[in-house]
A and B are shown apart, each in its own frame.
Chain A
Amino acid sequence: MNDWAILSGIEGNLAAYEAVLADIKRQRQPVEELYILGDVIAPTAESEQVIQRVRSPQQNEPMPQVCQGWWEEQLLILHGLGRTGEPTELIERYGITMVKTLWDAIPREMVEWVRSLDFGLFELDCLLIHGSSVSVSDQLTPDTPAMQMLDRLMRMEANTLFCGRSGLTFQYEIQQGTVTSSLTTLDRSNSPQAIAVKPRQVVGVGNVGRLPGQASYALYRPNSNQVEFRTVRYGAGKGFQRASP
């Protein structure tokens, strides 16, 4: 089985996405699957072009599998298609003017595509999702408490959870663990039992478009469970430049 490329947070930055696609093509081990963990869009004029590029890969590129991110959820809320009725989180983070900015940035004809995206993707024993199994806003980082990480994995019975909300690249391995559990009901009492947890991991896949001139993403080899983080520098004066096709 060939590699997967997993990325998140293009955030309407076409040049950054092109740079990552070019880096993917340069890999010695062919990349078979391309997963985009949401935030394809952001309140930028280029978001429409990014959507078109994501939806129409070139012949030698894998068809991306995309799930919803935080920005997609905000857009759906604005159009009355979200999980909540009010764009409370959007306004709290960016102020009331962002409502109109985001509304204007993404044409209505693109909303149906955004709506069609899954909340998360499950492949082999891996959950691929923007935030976590809890919500798109749930931000997992290298400092997230261990039990919280384990909970996010176990909610979907995943051995590996790939996420992008924090924008960080990290590998958080739960190597082993035990807890002693006992249960008493009205009719019976079980003696304590030691329960072990099997090794699992959470992988932060970085962010493509937020930092100008620098994109990060992850390569994953399912056969060996190996993760490699890639940092791609692009744009003038960065030693790498690629014209848009």
Chain B
Amino acid sequence: MKVAVMSCIHGNYEALNAVLSDIDDQSADKIYCLGDLVGYGPHPNAVVEMIRALDIPTCQGCWDEDIVEGLNSCECSYPSVLAEKRGKQAHEWTDQVIHPEVREFLAQLPLSLRDDNLCFVHGSPHNQHEYLMPEVDAFVALERVLVTGADILFCGHTHVPYVRSLDAGQLQIRVKSTGTTERDVSFSAPLKRIVNAGSVGEPRHGRPNATYVIYNTDADQITLREVEYDYQKTCAAIIDNGLPPIFAWRLARGLEFAERADDPTHVCER
């Protein structure tokens, strides 16, 4: 069985259509979406309507949450002050144009989805806002998979696709507690993987192409897919709708155009 997983569409209808065509070409049996349907891009309503029409199981992303709950995260949600300012502009625009039924749909999305030994989340199992960057410490990454009980954790949020394999994890523990004898404990974990699906509508891997992944369960094979589409059309719509032009600039280059977060694993307490 082939499972297609996509994330971070961000109101980019052109990119979504291209990815759905590619998924069709690849003969995928199932599609999952890891959220962030809206925000940054010019077509939030059309994207949500397409996801709903195709009945694609979707979990809630941080942008989806913010549109429902209102912006309530601290500055840590953005990698820089500049990014925060632009993000707020995009939030206000999206908040104004979004249809009530679309907001209702986003509100009822689950935080995680499960299919056998596969788990699907937006950021991490702990928080939609947590970035599981490819360079995050291997033990931290392993904990994120183990806490789900799954073998493969699919996530998005960083907009850069990757496959991280974590094999032969083991820990030696000694526990001393008052009133009991000291005990030694061994812990071991078999192969676990984190698969980041990248971003359909706002890629940041250095090229403008949309990205997503396909997991072949029979062959146990993960393929990172990169799909060309007419990004200029989306860029023009960004400008025409009065969204910050920098969004079009970075979409055309597949760049984040902001410095990295000091602590990508930081989880906002709010």
Instruction: Say yes or no: A183-B265 contact (C-beta < 8 A), given A83-B270, A178-B170.
Output: no
Residues of chain A lying within 8 A (CB to CB) of residue B172: 174-177
Give the chain B neighbours of A195 by CB distance below 8 A.
Answer: 137-139
Evaluate contact between A185 and B177: CB separation under 8 angstroms: no
A147-B146, A197-B139 in contact; A181/B165 too (CB < 8 A)?
Answer: yes
> In the complex, what distance in Å separates the CA atom of A168 from the CA atom of B173?
18
Residues of B within 8 A of A177 (CB): 139, 169-172, 187
A173-B175, A185-B224 known; A179+B161 contact, CB < 8 A: no
* Contact of B134 with A183 in the complex, beta carbons under 8 Å: yes
Q: In the assembled complex, which residues on chain B have CB atoms less than 8 Å from the CB atom of A147?
A: 139, 142-143, 146-147, 169, 171, 187, 189
The reply on A245 being an interface residue by CB < 8 A is: no
Given contacts A170-B176, A179-B166, contact A146 B171 (CB under 8 A): yes
Do residues B269 and A186 form an inter-chain contact, with CB atoms below 8 A?
A: no
Determine the distance from Cα of A229 to Cα of B178 in the docked complex, in whole angstroms.
8
In the complex, which range does the number of interface residues on chain B fall in? Answer: 35 or more
Q: B165 contacts A186, CB within 8 Å?
A: no
A192 at the interface (CB under 8 A from B): yes
Report B126-145 residues with CB < 8 Å from chain A CB.
126, 134, 137-143
* Closest partner residue, chain B, to A168 (CB atom): B177
A177 to B166: give the CA distance in the assembly, Å: 13
Please report the C-alpha to C-alpha distance between residue A122 and residue B174 in the assembled complex, in whole angstroms: 24
> Is A116's CB within 8 Å of the partner chain B?
no
Q: How many residues of A contact B (CB 8 A)?
A: 42
**Is A181 touching B164 in the complex (CB atoms < 8 A)?**
yes
Is B250 an interface residue when CB atoms closer than 8 A count as contact? no
Residue B205, interface by CB 8 Å: yes
Distance between Cα atoms of A149 and B160 in the complex (Å)? 29
Residues from chain A with Cβ under 8 Å of B270 in the complex: 83
B34 CB to closest chain A CB, in angstroms? 18
Distance between A133 CB and nearest chain B CB, rounded to angstroms: 9
Chain A residues with CB below 8 A from B269, complex form: 83, 119, 135
Please name the residue on chain A nearest to B144 by beta carbon: A151
Chain A residue nearest in CB terms to B207: A186
Chain A 148-190 interface mask (CB, 8 Å, partner B; 1/0): 1111001100000000000011111111111111111111000
A139 within 8 A of B: no
Q: Which of A182, A183, A186 has the most CB of B within 10 A?
A: A186
Does A65 have its Cβ within 8 Å of any Cβ on chain B? no
Assess the B139–A154 pair: CB atoms within 8 A: yes
Contacts of A155 in B (CB 8 A): 140, 265
Chain B residues within 8 Å of A231, by CB: 178
Q: What would be 10 A-B contacts, judged by CB atoms less than 8 Å apart?
A: A145-B146, A146-B173, A150-B139, A150-B171, A170-B175, A171-B176, A172-B174, A177-B170, A192-B165, A192-B167
Give B contacts to A, CB under 8 Å.
126, 134, 137-143, 146-147, 160-178, 180, 185, 187, 189, 205-206, 211, 224, 226, 265, 267, 269-270
- Supplied contacts A83-B269, A184-B162, 7 more A-B pairs, CB within 8 Å: A147-B143, A147-B146, A168-B178, A175-B173, A179-B170, A179-B189, A216-B178
